[in-house]
Amino acid sequence: MPPIIEVQNVTKIYHLGKVEVPAVRGVSFQVEKGEFVAVVGPSGSGKSTLFYVLGGLTRADSGRVIVDGDDFARLSDAQRTRMRKRKIGFVFQKFNLLPTLNARLNIQIAQDIAGRDGNHDAAWFDRITKLLGIADRLEHRPSELSGGEQQRVALARALINQPAIILADEPTGNLDSKNSEIVLRLLQETNRTLGQTVLMITHNLEAATFAGRILHMRDGQIVGEENELRP
């Protein structure tokens, strides 16, 4: 079975006036279906740029990114947008919930955006909201939820379309240590129970140890790897 994510010699350079700033420099790696992989590195290491390239939010200058059989380099902007909606679930440091909608509607809106109006899978919705411990908070708006609960709603929104992968960018960055551990364990649980492939970007090595594999990034390159971290 081919890897669900395949990154081949990817480079991304930003231009500040006449100055070239290489953010990602010849990065290559693979993620197998059902893995939980963390990319960890300090600020400025290129990990956030890599996240945007992997999510199809920006184009690489060279190299290939293949996600679940789709090669970003060969897709038009419209095709990349459609692919993202159906195959990638995003979790960000900022929860990005709509303040006027309750938790239920904040989750379901991802289905509508993906073009699944009127085709909501009630059983799947119930399964993930129970797994994430928010089944009794669905009628509450974001202002009525704790930070940890808001991030769990954001995770449910990322999972609702049963994407090929979850891309999480500093998912505990706005949480205290207690809620950070809850969210990280829930990412583990979705990986183990649902078989969800997860790729998490973080600067926090402790957070990264919740993954099954860590890729260390520095100066735009992958410089090391660790496997089999937590039981």
Per-residue pLDDT tens digits of the chain, which is 231 residues long: 789 999 999 999 998 888 888 999 999 999 999 999 999 999 889 999 999 999 998 999 999 999 999 898 888 888 888 888 889 999 998 889 999 999 999 999 988 877 665 556 789 999 999 999 999 999 999 999 999 999 999 999 999 988 999 999 999 988 999 999 999 999 999 999 999 999 999 999 999 999 999 999 999 999 999 886 655
Beta bridge partners of residue 165, listed in sequence order: 88, 197
Residue 116's pLDDT is what? 60
Strand, helix or coil for residue 167: strand
Residue 229: its pLDDT value, please? 60
Closest CA relative to residue 34, chosen from 228, 163, 197, 161: 197
CA angle 125, 80, 127 (to 5 degrees): 10
Note the pLDDT tens digit of each residue in 76-116. Answer: 888 888 888 889 999 998 889 999 999 999 999 988 877 66
* Structural domains in the chain, sorted by start: 33-60+69-227 (3.40.50.300)
pLDDT value of position 31: 96
pLDDT of residue 181: 92
Instruction: Give the separation between CA 53 and CA 202, rounded to whole angstroms.
Output: 16
pTM score of the predicted model: 0.90
State the DSSP code for 67: E
Beta bridge pairs of residue 89: 166
What integer pLDDT is reported at residue 73 of this predicted model? 82
Please report the pLDDT score of residue 117 as a whole number.
55
